[in-house]
Chain A
Amino acid sequence: MTQTDAPDAPQLTQTVYRIEIWPRTGEADALAHPHEETVAQRFGDNANLRAASIYLIQSPISTEQANQIATELLCDPVCQEFAVGVSPISDNSGSVEVHYKPGVMDPVAQSTKSAILEMLSSTGLTAEQLEVTTGARYDVLGATPDEAALTEFAQASLANPVIQDIYAKAYHPESFMTGTPYKMHLTHVPMRDLNDEALTKLSREGHLFLSLEEMKAIQDYYRKAEREPTDIELETFAQTWSEHCVHKTLKSTVLYTQPEGDDAINWASRPGHEVHEDGSVTINNLLKSTIAAATNKLMTEHGMDKWCISVFVDNAGIVKLDDEDAVCIKVETHNHPSAIEPYGGAATGIGGCIRDIMGTGLAGKPIANTDVFCVAHPQQTKPIPTGVIPPKRILQQVVAGVRDYGNRMGIPTVNGSVWFHDDYLGNPLVFAGCIGMIPLDKCFGDPQPGDHIIAIGGRTGRDGIHGATFSSAELTDTHADEFSHAVQIGNAITEKQTLDVILQARDHEGGPLFSAITDCGAGGFSSAVGEMGEKVGAKVVLDNAPLKYRGLSYTEIWISEAQERMVLSVPEEHVEKVMAICASEDVEVCDLGTFGYTNDAGEPELILTYREQEVGRLSMPLLHDGIPTPTRKAQWTPGKYQTAQSHPVADKPSDMGDALKTLLAHPNIASKHWIIRQYDHEVQGGAAVKPLTGPNQDGPSDASVLRPKLNSNKGIALGSGLQTGMGEKSKGDSYWMTLAAIDEAVRNVVCTGADPSKICILDNFCWPSCDKPENLGSLVRSAEACYDGSLAYKTPFVSGKDSLNNQFTTDSGEVISIPPTMLISAMGIVQDATKTCTMDAKAAGNILLLIGNTTPAMLGSHYTMSYSDTSRDMTVPRTDLHDGPCQAAIVAGLIHHSKVVSAHDCSDGGLLVAAAEMAFAGGIGLDIDLTAVASTGKLDDVSAAFAETPSRYLLEVKPENLDEIIRLLRDKQIPFGEVGRFNDSDKLTVRSAEAGQLLEQSLAELKAAWLGTLDW
């Protein structure tokens, strides 16, 4: 933005106009609507709420012009009315207002400003003469609450004090706060003479979050260089070496020990593993020796290199779709920002993941989003600790964040789940995924020396400073205050515009206009330019970044995590063309410098300048390879993992019907329609299996299938697996938990029609502090399961992410650690979307087959989470790595040959839950015989009904196909049982040879239980 201070312009007085927009009397009040219930609870049944949007406009315009803005732009002539100034408050009522804090991203204010400028362009009004902010006014009518009560209501329900201010009376300032210009001051940080204690203090107080070893490595460098670091250099180390950016735990060398006699894992002949005489194991680079090793093996020994195009090296993993295009996928977490500001945290979580796709190869086009949330139970019996947002509000806000960002971007959000566990109370998990399509000849990019560093999209502000380092630290009760600046708020439309520009530049006739692209995520420019310039070096002129407001230091510009920014490496001859496309789409662009700088030793280096002064100079090899990698200790100690929070559970159900309804109503299992319906899962026009299915669009699909190309029937299936219940918090084992998650992810996509030989998977580790050997021990077991599972199912990992400090320390010092959580995401190729399958039962007379053995092991099952039934076998179910893949292949073949009319993954809740879902989703009665459930040993009715043994599928088949299918299953030695028959009734009935009839329930009643829990 250029300053316009024409000397002949008269000095105009700036006035702040306040415009209130109210719904007309009798009209719906969208702002007030969500809070009606709360208002009645707080202020009595007679109280009701009215709300207005407020626009504050600071400009030298006339009152007539302010009125024109209100009439033409802000107020709907049919259903709204407006007031300029403060409209009087009616008697017997109270009023409270919420306004954004200065500097917080306010997309509505930005749009309004642009619209006013265009409206009044003939008057010569300039951008410098106009500022807009927005807020809301809430009038509580029919009650006279005092200021304190109103403020408390606003804090609890209307505002987040991290980003908004609350006013107990009308807010109408005389002028807006403005930043003061930054005064250049080059800061050096003396560290060469610091002792260990002082280094640790510097790391913590400077919010660097580097370990002592890392601080010493940096100190060493500057001692040799005979100078002190500048602040920006130190920050660059902190960003680049953060857990978030470099995954130092997963890449470290680990010495692992376990109790004698543990037989779950076969430690022999694993790549990068060294088994010692005492049974301990040294693992060199955990990630490389497990997850990446499996993918390498699949690519080199099993021909997967033809299908996997790019794994682990880029912002997303890429696999082939057809002969022209590839699909890429990325899933990551945004946990800590979501704990403090759930709406902004989740929105920027999905926004960042979308940018990863835009920054893959030479830019992918986003085609689908996924989301998984882990939160505490909405109804908490214990008081909520200080600094914690109640779980129901967290869930509502994270859903709203994903909704508003994904829908605005025009990307269908098609798959997800929610897992409830009370130990997520202070540290909820927010996983966001994005899938993109990319032409096969545009899957790779490399910056060339001489290319310009072009940044496009949003402006740089103070938002999100220290996001990368903060996400790598653990949460405490003071984090909301200390790190409020780490919160980012997104603007989805800026990102959509940026995407429009990038795709035009990519598909430019004559070839792409850029040689490489990446997104500004954690660490901002420092990470983006640092990574792109790793091999060629770069010089950055920090003055050139457009800023949201004045006052940013050079370091703040460098590490700001302001959203919606992409960095492109653009050859000199294309710079003007890129600038022209940006101008045509109203997208901001800046030239930050050039790639191609090496030091005297020939190493690529990073040079940073500001106001013609060098503020930083670092060697790229040191930055990227200099991080010390100490050996970390890992110890698996079964049974040591404590649950801090707990929910009271009943001893035993009164009968099987009671148990089934309880499980259907369990929040993990209950319908997620409240979430799904708020996401546009139809946009882009390719949804072939939707997240909700069946005649009433309310059956829970196992996965979603999309046709990314509207003129082709080739599809992709998206699903996920999450088996947190089998982990350590319930005395389980993360090895079996992770295998079950891989198996579940595979089953989900297979049930809809994915080709099991073309399924790629992603890992997302969310663990409590891995500085503790027992937590790292459980992490190691999970990584080993990834290796075994990936090889057994021939599902290569193509990308992944970890978040390893997920715990919350309350003000009384209690540490609540999350349950070790492993999300496996799966993307499978569907050869023909017109042969996909859904889970809703199709017709009376059809037979229900249960594929796979059932075992009595019930640890981690929803039955044992709901009842402390001591008669159960409380061992963890083991995934059979021979049967699992065989069963997946058989089921996929039956679906592909249209021998199956519906298919459903039999997992959370067990057989009866999955079968009931099929029956009520299709509205077709079902009779089940538990005696027919296949098992190698003895199985009682409760286990047959509710065990969650992995690798099982429920298939609905027509009677005329039954013989052929049974022959095939017997031929392949697949265990199965004819467990049920669909009928004309409106009931589910269950019986067994031993007990006779066990259950008779109407489908409507079962469905009501399932729909009710999360019907918010």
Chain B
Amino acid sequence: MDKPRCLIVRTAGTNCDMELAHAFELAGASTQKLHINELIANPAVIEQFQLIGFPGGFSYGDDIAAGRIFANRLRHKLMDQLLAAADRGVPMIGICNGFQVMTKLGLLPDPHAGKQTATLADNNSGRFTCKWTKMTVPSNTCCVWTKGLTELELPVAHAEGRFVPESDEALARWNDKGQIAIKYAADDNPNGSTADIAGVCDESGLILGLMPHPERWVHITNHPQWQRKSDDFKSQTPAGLKMFQNVVEHVTSSSPATV
């Protein structure tokens, strides 16, 4: 089959679109970056894609709150098309600002809730932090992206990444359904997220949002200590790339619905 096609949605202030496209391409997909204005002008184009990525960055400068303005535009103009894609089983990923957008749009953790059920608030430190952090993948997760991963490291780079659920009940529900896709190691939570949550997925496990950047861990020299690592470590697939390979594999092995 042809390479799965990935739509990378960008707007004013998106700035991780290049490396997100690179990660998808390394994993075997082809990519196209489209500005939200082009999607609003021609929403049907979304149907041509088997994968959707919301990259990191500072959409609209994080003005008002991170991801808010982009989410509002999507809600008013493209929500139906995005939900239809979710219903078609199109895997989506929102990284950092993309996660903030998806959460504020209400696309995560429950796409059909019809409202925002969690948020990403200011880091406890009150400031932007960039560092590599230790992560774990909960054993019960239904997430397709983090399948096969247990412990990994990924860089975070954000000021508003503290995951806050709307209620304890909601959190318990996501836990039960395996929607917690990735967590910070308990001793390495960079922002004070509730229950060390770094990323969540929908019930299908196909739609993932996370604050850390898997697209920044796809080449051996990305790792902060690669110069100290053994040849064995250097020959393994970087954990970030593995996540993209997981979904590209999922799409290729599923029935070619819309090719």
**B-binding residues in A (CB < 8 A):** 27-28, 30, 33-34, 72-74, 76-79, 107-108, 110-112, 114-115, 118-119, 403, 407-410, 491-493, 496-497, 584-586, 676-685, 687-688, 690, 693-695, 697, 707, 710-711, 713, 833-834, 836-838, 840, 842
Contacts and interface: CB of A to CB of B under 8 A. Distances in A.
B37 A584 contact: yes
Nearest to A839: B227
B148 interface: no
Contacts of B110: none
A110 to B, nearest CB: 8
B119 A79 contact: yes
13 contacts: A76-B116, A77-B115, A79-B164, A115-B69, A492-B58, A493-B60, A678-B130, A683-B15, A683-B216, A685-B18, A685-B222, A695-B225, A837-B227
Contact of A493 (B61, B126, B219): B61
A73 B64 contact: yes
Contacts of A837: 227
Contacts of B157: 407, 680, 682-683
Given A33-B126, A111-B61, A677-B131, A28 B116 contact: no
B69 A111 contact: yes
Contacts of B65: 76
B242 interface: no
Most B C-beta atoms less than 10 A away, residue of A28, A110, A707, A842: A28
A586 B62 CA distance: 17
A586 B121 contact: no
Contacts of A690: 224
Contacts of A110: 63
Contacts of B131: 677, 697
Contacts of B218: 685
Contacts of B227: 693, 836-838, 842
The 6 A-B pairs of least Cβ separation, nearest first, read A410-B15, A685-B19, A111-B63, A30-B122, A78-B119, A688-B221
B38 A584 contact: yes
Given A685-B22, A697-B131, 12 more contacts: A28-B121, A28-B122, A33-B122, A73-B64, A493-B61, A496-B13, A585-B37, A687-B222, A693-B225, A833-B221, A836-B221, A838-B227
Contacts of A491: 61
Contacts of A119: 72, 76
Given A678-B129, A710-B22, A27 B64 contact: no
A73, A79, A107 pick with most chain B CB within 10 angstroms = A79
Nearest to B170: A78
Contact of B64 (A111, A679, A693): A111
B121 A79 contact: yes
Contacts of A697: 131-132, 224
Contacts of B221: 688, 707, 713, 833-834, 836
Interface in B161-211: 162, 164-166, 192
Chain B CB within 10 A, most for which of A110, A112, A683, A685: A685
B83 interface: no
B16 interface: yes
A28 to B, nearest CB: 6
Interface string B235-253: 0000000000000000000
Contacts of A112: 63-64
Given A119-B76, A836-B227, A681 B130 contact: yes
Nearest to B240: A685
B116 A77 contact: yes
B12 A497 contact: yes
A676 B219 CA distance: 23
Contacts of A407: 58, 128, 157
A822 B122 CA distance: 39
A584 B162 contact: no
Interface residues of B, number: 59
A695 B165 CA distance: 33
A268 B56 CA distance: 58
A581 to B, nearest CB: 10
Interface string B213-235: 10110111110110110000000
Contacts of B126: 28, 30, 33-34
B124 interface: yes
A676 B131 CA distance: 10
A681 B13 CA distance: 17
B128 A678 contact: yes
A118 B13 contact: no
Nearest to A843: B228
Contacts of B225: 693-695
B220 A408 contact: no
B73 interface: yes
B3 interface: no
Contacts of B213: 682
A118 B18 contact: no
Nearest to A33: B126
B130 A410 contact: no
A409 B155 CA distance: 18
B258 to A, nearest CB: 26
Contacts of A34: 126
B40 to A, nearest CB: 10
B57 A410 contact: yes
Nearest to B65: A76
A624 B225 CA distance: 52
Given A118-B76, A685-B218, A108 B127 contact: no
A585 B35 contact: yes
Contacts of B117: 78
A782 to B, nearest CB: 35
A288 B64 CA distance: 50
A834 B35 contact: no
A682 B240 CA distance: 14
A410 B37 CA distance: 21
Nearest to B221: A688
B118 interface: yes
Given A28-B162, A410-B15, A73 B68 contact: yes
Nearest to A676: B130
Contacts of B224: 690, 693, 697
Contacts of A688: 221-222
Contact of A76 (B22, B115, B121): B121
A13 to B, nearest CB: 26
B58 A493 contact: yes
Contacts of A833: 221
A78 B58 contact: no
B12 A74 contact: no
A687 B157 CA distance: 14
Contacts of A77: 115-116, 119, 166
A33 B192 CA distance: 14
In the complex, which of the residues A74, A680, A838 has the most CB atoms of chain B within 10 Å of its own CB atom?
A: A680
A681 to B, nearest CB: 6
A682 B64 contact: no
Contact of B72 (A73, A586, A682, A693): A73
Contacts of B61: 107-108, 111, 408, 491-493
A34 B128 CA distance: 13
Nearest to A698: B131
Given A73-B64, A111-B64, A118 B130 contact: no
A807 B228 CA distance: 47
A838 B224 CA distance: 10
Contacts of B128: 403, 407, 677-680
Nearest to A583: B37
A593 B63 CA distance: 34
Contacts of B60: 111, 114-115, 493
Contact of A678 (B19, B68, B119, B127): B127
B73 A118 contact: yes
A28 B63 CA distance: 18
Nearest to A34: B126
